[in-house]
Amino acid sequence: MEIATHAHNPRSDNLDCLVVGVYEQGILSPAATLVDAASDGAIQSFLATGDFAGQCGDTQILYQLPGLATQRVMVLGLGVHGKISDSQFRKAIQGASKALRQAQIAQASFYLLDTPVIRRSPAALGKILVQTVMDSDYQFDHHKEPSEKPQRSLTHLHLNVSGGAEEEAAVKQACAEAQATARAVAWAKDLANEPGNICTPTWLADQAQNMAQRTGIKSTILGPDAMEALGMRLLLGVAQGSRQEPRLIILEYWGGSEEQAPIVFVGKGLTFDAGGISLKPADKMDEMKYDMCGGAAALAAIQSAAELKLPLNIITVVPASENLPDGRATKPGDIHKSMKGLTVEIINTDAEGRLILADALTYVERFEPDVVIDMATLTGACVIALGHQTAAVMGNNEGLVQDLIRAGKESMDRAWELPLYEEYQEQLKSSFADLSNVGGRPAGTITAACFLSRFTENYRWAHLDIAGVAWKSGENKGATGRPVSLLVEYLLHRARQVA
């Protein structure tokens, strides 16, 4: 998709369709006012019919209005003037994107950056607009027969800027960041939406290597022999019930100075999780291909950093495996020794994500990181606590946790802090090992993070539990690409601090 900014008068804009805003109670945006004046009151005449109330996301395309160079004008409902939130603005853009797609329109010019959205600048609105349009255009149909009437994608997206050269420069930069983020989100979705018979640990490692080669990132892939030499018995223990060999994916992007300590992402890469011997119910087990969404997000975030040439040093580590029942699979009650040297009693083999993360979190100590951020579809308890709207964040450094929360607010990929008090560690006590891999039903999201915290004592660390936000079920089932936007926004904030 070609994205451009301009400062056109809508009367002379000749793209396939202009998108202008109308608020409730018939209030016109500045661009809609210009279009109305040029077309002898066509928009006011349309509103006078009472068929369009201006509610958020409502759309109507008007054709061949007099006095205009374009053939189509989309009237987009924005809601109540002066009370529009960023979520409502995104909802409106989603409505416009859907209508453009249905109308098979390839080129559109948006006159919406002057919309008064609470606490959002025109550049911020441009970023929301671009990411929303690109996300709305996403489809995963690789395994379907081609449609006889394929939908026409938007090829040209223009944003009108009315605030002068400085504002236009800010919008252009925001659009570049939005494009890189949207591409990363789409790639994370593609990785996660592939079925488990294709997306194996080896396949995922191959995709990471291909991306690394394309973007100039250093890649290293470790197999079982290397893991055995490192003492990664937790990762190997999870994988031993599968015929698919595990992989440890390591990507290194060195865009900062030599003395700059790296930011490290660790993403859970369970390419399929049947629960092992603690077998999951059959209902919705197909969705367990999404148990590698944390790994996909970690890979996608470093891709964005490379494409944007951020002045940062970033490392992504993804432990990838399957978790299946087999004669060789880990059994409840087994004890494995971690790379750190702590022994773990496996009470529930379906609490496997924290096991593979534990060895990866120990492995990354060698990089002497500035911060380590892990992301994982870790606990169903997180869905109960925060639903499908918000990820959970916990960690051993309050500054890092707050930075991630701020990045989530800015990117609209939100996270909320849960406590990580020392008292919760009591639930992980084991009679036979240094700790148990589960702490019972109470505070399941917190005790899972407590488990990880035992392997992160030597650096600043935060954990994102994305179990509720990484994919959607139902008719529109599919990966969401979260928390890629949050991670990229965090990196952009860090890059601005370096600059």
- Give the residue numbers marked as catalytic: 280, 354
Residue in 360, 316, 355 with CA at minimum distance from that of residue 337: 355
CA distances for 246 relative to 60, 223, 277, 441, 455, angstroms? 52, 6, 18, 29, 20
Question: In degrees rounded to 5, what are phi and psi of residue 17?
Answer: -150, 135
Residue in 57, 170, 179 with CA at minimum distance from that of residue 121: 170
With contact defined as beta carbons under 8 Å apart, do 78 and 116 qualify? no
Residue in 316, 92, 90 with CA at minimum distance from that of residue 191: 316
Q: Please, which residues have CB within 8 angstroms of residue 72's CB and are 6 or more apart in sequence? A: 16, 17, 18, 61, 62, 63, 103, 105
Residue whose structure tokens are 């990929």? 413
